[in-house]
Amino acid sequence: MPAPLSAPYGESRPLPPYRALFAVDAKDFTGLPAAQHGPVSELIPRLVDHALERAGLRQLRDTKRFPANTGDGVVFGYDPAHLPFVLWPFLGVLDEVLGDYNRQSVGPRIRLRASVHVGPLPDGDQPGDGNGTARNDTHRLLDSRPVKAILAAASEEVTQLVAIVSERVYEDVVLGAYTGLHPDRCVEVPATVDGKSFAQRAWLYVPSPSGNLVQAGLRAPGAAGAEEESADEDSSSGVREEQPAEVGPGTRYTGNSQQVGEGAAVMGSVGGDFTYTGRSTSYEGTNQHWGSGDNVTGDKRVDGHGGDR
């Protein structure tokens, strides 16, 4: 009979080793014909391994911890010493590998969401290795609203990968200047998942942003300067009244709502109201409406490691 589980806080125990985590999910996987699920499921880890080798991370490729194929993606742990190189150059190389494949293939496009996290996880060659809060959070980040919204809005011809980086990784690796990924390449977002009690601050990184994303972030000529800001400020309260601002052709930003005639408006928090009408894709509040592709709102169950996602 198995030994009973010890009660939490009943005694002290050794902290499991810290393991970095990398996970990817394919966009539009559930929309593929059933006959393509198996081949695409086998293809994704091969593309990831090819990118690891091209990025000079062959050792990481060969020493993955508790790897698992999730059907529409992969997840694995690794030594946190590799984290700086996973952020840069690996994510950029993976984006290039996906682009090369998509340009040459006659099959379905492979566009991925990726998440990068780190935390204590059991890793002692036991059946339960890799399961824990850090593993669950890695998948929550992968399924969070901002990363799905940006990949859905971006051009499929240019943007093959959108990555979300946990706050712990961002603070330790990016702000610590251990990686070639500059903080100015990252955008802070509130990561939340519909139907889950999950909310964390995270950071988006898009290796190849498409023109519509860049255009939406540009301020139109004649933007308000110091004189206009002064005029907007209420002299009695010292609080500046919020005014609509042009942020790009066909795009207006008012408060926390964005209306986009063409392209994707990315200003401030991506977790606020996000409306994209250029390609029949909209995201508003807690509801998700995609023109095509994944819309995962329930539990995602994976055989093997990881349990419910």
Which amino acid appears at position 45 of this protein? P
pLDDT at position 276 over 90: no
Between CA 72 and CA 139 the distance in angstroms is: 12
Strand arrangement of the beta sheet that strand 257-260 belongs to: 245-248, 251-254, 257-260
Higher pLDDT, 51 or 278: 51
* 179 vs 156: CA distance, rounded Å: 28
> Which tokens sit at 147?
């990363």
Burial of 237 (0-12, 13-18, 19+ CB in 10 A): exposed
Mind listing the pLDDT tens digit for each residue in 92-113? 999 999 999 999 999 899 999 9
Dihedral sign for Cα atoms in the order 228, 229, 230, 231 = positive
| Bond prior to 207 in cis (omega within 30° of 0) | no
Determine the average pLDDT of the residues in 240-254: 34
Provide, rounded to the nearest whole percent, the portion of the chain with pLDDT above 90: 62
The 3-state DSSP class for residue 191 equals strand
- Tokens representing 44 are 């994704």
β-strand 161-166 against 112-120: which pairing, if any? parallel
Burial classification of residue 269, based on how many CB atoms lie within 10 Å of its CB (0-12 exposed, 13-18 middle, 19 or more buried): middle
HSE (side-chain half, CA atoms, 13 Å) at 132: 21
Contact present, 204 and 170 (Cβ < 8 Å): no
**What pTM does this model have?**
0.73
Backbone angles phi, psi at 12, to 5 degrees: -90, 150
| Residue given tokens 């539009």 in the structure block | 28
Alpha carbons 150 and 260: distance in angstroms, whole number: 13
Name the one residue in this structure whose structure tokens are 């030594």.
79
Q: Taking residues 16-25, what's their average pLDDT?
A: 98
What are residue 68's phi and psi, to 5 degrees? -150, 140
CATH 3.30.70.1230 fits 18-210, yes or no: yes
Residues 191-227 have pLDDT tens digits of 999 999 999 999 999 999 999 888 876 533 433 443 4
**Cβ 243 vs Cβ 229: under 8 Å:** no
Domain boundaries, the chain: 18-210, 214-289
- pLDDT tens digits for range 142-192: 999 999 999 999 999 999 999 999 999 999 999 999 999 999 999 999 999
Question: Distance between CA 180 and CA 159 in Å, rounded?
Answer: 20
Torsion of CA 29, 34, 39, 42, to 10 degrees: 60
Distance of alpha carbon 18 from the chain centroid:
21
